[in-house]
Each structure stands twice: as C-alpha cells, then as structure tokens.
C-alpha cells in the first residue's frame, strides 16, 4: 500500500508492506521484492519516501561491509530473508533506520512469541534523507497485534520556505453607496475626462480613466490574505486595533506588569468594539435584505459562508501527463492551461471518456472554451 502526501510543497510517500514468512516458497518471496521494486521505481527521486513493513527477516547486529545502508544496532544473526532486506536497501540507496539508533533491548525488539524476541519490522528511508530522522524506537506496551510491537519513527522534513502570495489590491467601489463619495467620484471623473458630459467612444481609454479615478478617490484594499470576515470593519474598529498594536509593542519593549495589564485591557476593549461593529453591520444588513441594494451584500455573505464551510480552500497540486505530481504554482497553472487548450475540440476527446467523464466534460465545454477557462 502506498500513500502520497503533499507537505509544504514537498511530496512525501509512505509505503507499507508485508513480506512472505520464512517458510514460504522462494517464488513468492521473489514476487514480493519485484513488486516493491516497481513501487520504488514509480516514485521520483525528488520525492521523500519512507517504507514501514514486516519484512519477516533478521538483518542482524553490526554492519560489516554494509555501512551505507545499516547501523550497528540490530539484533541477532542475519538470515537469508534479512539479506534480501539489505540487498533491496542497496539497490534503492536506502537505509534501515532501526539499526542507526542505539536503544535498550526492549526498544529494539519488534516481535515476541514463545519466549523468542527478535526484530522483523523495519522502517526504511532514502540514504540522503537519513539526516532528517531524529529518532526511531519500539513503543513498549502498545499492542498493535498480539505478537508485534509498534515501531515509531520521528522525521523532520527540511522544506524550502514558500513565499506568501500577496493578494491583489482592489478598488473600494462599495464606497459609492455613500452619497458624499459618489459626488466626489463624479466630480473627479469629469475633470479626468476634460470636463466632458459624455464619455469618449474609446472604451479602453474610458475604462482606464475610471479605474485610476476610483483608486485615487475611493482607495484600495491593503492586499492581505486572510480568512476573517473583515468587510464589516469600520474606522472605529481600525483605530482600536491600532491602539492594541501600540500597546503590544510597548509591552514587548518594556516587559513590565503595568504594560502587560495595559495590553490585556486593550485586547479586551478591541474584542468588545469588534463585537459591536459586527453586530451593527449584520443588523443593518438584515434590515435591507428585501431591498434591491441589499442583494449584493446578501450574495457576498453567502459566498463567504460557502468558503468557510469547505475543507479545501485551494488546489495546490496536480499531476502532469506522465503522472508526476506538480507542486509549484507556475507548473500547476501551466498544467491547467494545457487542459483548457486540449478541450478546444470536444469531439476529439468525447468518445474516449467514460460515461461520468462525458457528463463532466459536457458541463465544462458547454458554451465554448471560455467557459472552461
């Protein structure tokens, strides 16, 4: 069984396996290792991979000529099945993690039965990622099965810090609801088009003039991403939040009990003011829901509630045509563009799709390529 995870832009593969027992036929054992080889070959070298399996073999104590794949802290003598584990690790440039950490005997034994204690359950990782493993041991007292014990491995992924994408700044067109802002905007717009009562015929020029005037008169959003509903913020709330930030900065600098109490009191007041502003905004919204101008606010509220109710906020990974997982924003967008271009000719692809695929395809391609994009 193989599981692929995306963690902070790093693809992490977890493979679980169960090797044939010692008394099984050699043909069955060879098939297991061939299947495991195919799984490993299907995982790109750039992705992390960890294998946790009951290999039903003893890799033995010491490492002899196998320092590149084993540590010195195994158990008992190596048998034929254990040699298969070591050979597999060499082929795939992996390391048997259990043997690299010096533990007491009870924290290395993974199998107990009939008075026999041995080690048959192992965790493997790529040799180049062994430095990311901080610990590996057997948890005594956790009975996963009657005879086996749980093996726990602690791994810290070294990932590149991704730059936080900045949201696009938007013009605050909703301020035009206020009569004062609307009159100021009209005045500035007339001056921008040289005092003409009728707008120019060139729509591109006109649109640019309107946008520039709107940004100058109405202002723009700060361009920060967040999950909070901040559309109801007013100037009073912003003022209190600014006071709280100043109090926090003062406490960080002085670190006295007085500044700490001041910061706590400011936090309490901000919560009160935020609650008042939010309640007032919702009361005003509910009062005008039946009006024509209230439809925009209603739809905005519904969209916000819909986004908050979804577990997945964005799709960050997608597979390319060869089945490899793409994690970069540019590569993901490029893949979606290729899909949109491929849908330009519906008749070429429609026959090869299953019934459910045809329904999805027709839904996206109805109305032309622009609908799909």
What is the full per-residue pLDDT of the chain (373 aa) written as tens digits? 999 988 877 889 999 999 999 889 999 999 999 999 999 999 988 899 999 999 999 999 888 888 889 998 988 889 999 999 999 999 999 999 999 999 998 889 988 887 788 899 999 999 999 999 999 999 887 666 678 888 999 998 877 665 666 667 788 887 888 888 889 888 888 888 775 655 556 777 788 888 888 888 888 877 655 444 566 677 888 888 899 999 999 888 888 889 989 999 999 999 998 888 888 877 877 777 777 666 776 777 777 777 766 655 556 678 888 877 887 778 888 888 887 776 654 444 444 434 443 333 333 333 333 332 2
Nearest to 57 by CA among 103, 92, 20: 20
Give me the pLDDT at residue 347, please.
45
- Beta-strand pair 48-54/10-18: parallel
Give the closest residue to 126 by CA, choosing from 90, 76, 167, 172.
90
Kindly state which CATH superfamily the domain 2-155 is placed in.
Endonuclease/exonuclease/phosphatase (3.60.10.10)
Residue 88's CB: how many other CB atoms inside 10 A?
A: 20
Instruction: Find how far residue 231's CA is from the centre of its chain.
Output: 26
* Whether this model's pTM surpasses 0.85: no
Residue 133: φ, ψ to 5° = -85, 120
Going from N- to C-terminal start, the domains of the chain cover: 2-155, 166-224, 230-312, 318-372
| CA dist 41 → 35, 46, 78, 96, 236 (Å) | 10, 12, 27, 18, 61
pLDDT, residue 84, reads 94
* CB distance 15 to 39 below 8 Å: yes
Q: Which of 79, 136, 133 is nearest to 102 (CA)?
A: 136
* Cα-based angle 12, 15, 19 (whole degrees, multiple of 5): 165
If 0-12 CB within 10 Å is exposed, 13-18 middle and 19+ buried, where does residue 279 land?
exposed
């Amino acid at each position: 069984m193989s599981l692929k995870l995306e963690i902070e832009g790093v693809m992490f593969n977890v493979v679980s396996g169960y090797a044939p027992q010692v008394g099984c036929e050699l043909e069955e054992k060879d098939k297991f290792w061939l299947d495991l080889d195919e799984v490993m070959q299907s995982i790109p070298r750039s992705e992390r991979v960890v294998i946790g399996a009951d290999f039903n073999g003893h890799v033995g104590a010491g490492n002899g000529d196998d320092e590149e794949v084993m540590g010195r802290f195994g158990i008992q003598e190596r048998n034929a099945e254990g040699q298969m584990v070591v050979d597999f690790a060499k082929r795939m440039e992996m390391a048997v993690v259990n043997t690299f950490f010096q533990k007491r005997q009870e924290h290395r034994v993974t199998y107990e039965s009939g008075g026999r204690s041995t080690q048959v359950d192992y965790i493997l990782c790529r040799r180049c990622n062994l430095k990311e493993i901080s610990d590996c041991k057997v948890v005594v007292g956790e009975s996963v099965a009657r005879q086996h014990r749980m093996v726990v491995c602690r791994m810290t992924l070294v990932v590149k810090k991704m730059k936080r994408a900045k949201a696009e700044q938007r013009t605050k067109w909703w301020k035009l609801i206020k009569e004062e802002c609307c009159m100021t905007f009209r005045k500035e717009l007339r001056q921008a088009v040289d005092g003409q009562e009728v707008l120019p015929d060139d729509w591109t020029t006109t649109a640019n003039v309107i946008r520039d005037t709107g940004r100058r008169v109405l202002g723009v959003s700060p361009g920060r991403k967040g999950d909070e509903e901040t559309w109801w913020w007013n100037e009073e709330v912003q003022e209190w939040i600014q006071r709280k930030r100043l109090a926090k900065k003062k406490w960080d600098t002085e670190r006295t009990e007085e500044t700490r109490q001041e910061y706590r009191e400011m936090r309490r007041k901000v919560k009160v003011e935020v609650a008042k502003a939010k309640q007032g905004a919702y009361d005003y919204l509910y009062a005008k829901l039946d009006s024509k101008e209230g439809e925009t606010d209603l739809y905005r509220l519904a969209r916000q509630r819909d986004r908050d109710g979804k577990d997945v906020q964005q799709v960050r990974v997608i597979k390319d045509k060869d089945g490899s997982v793409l994690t970069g924003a540019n590569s993901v967008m490029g893949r979606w563009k290729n899909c949109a271009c491929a849908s330009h000719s519906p008749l070429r692809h429609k026959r090869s799709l299953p019934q459910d695929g045809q329904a999805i395809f027709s839904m996206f391609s109805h109305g032309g390529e622009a609908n799909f994009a």
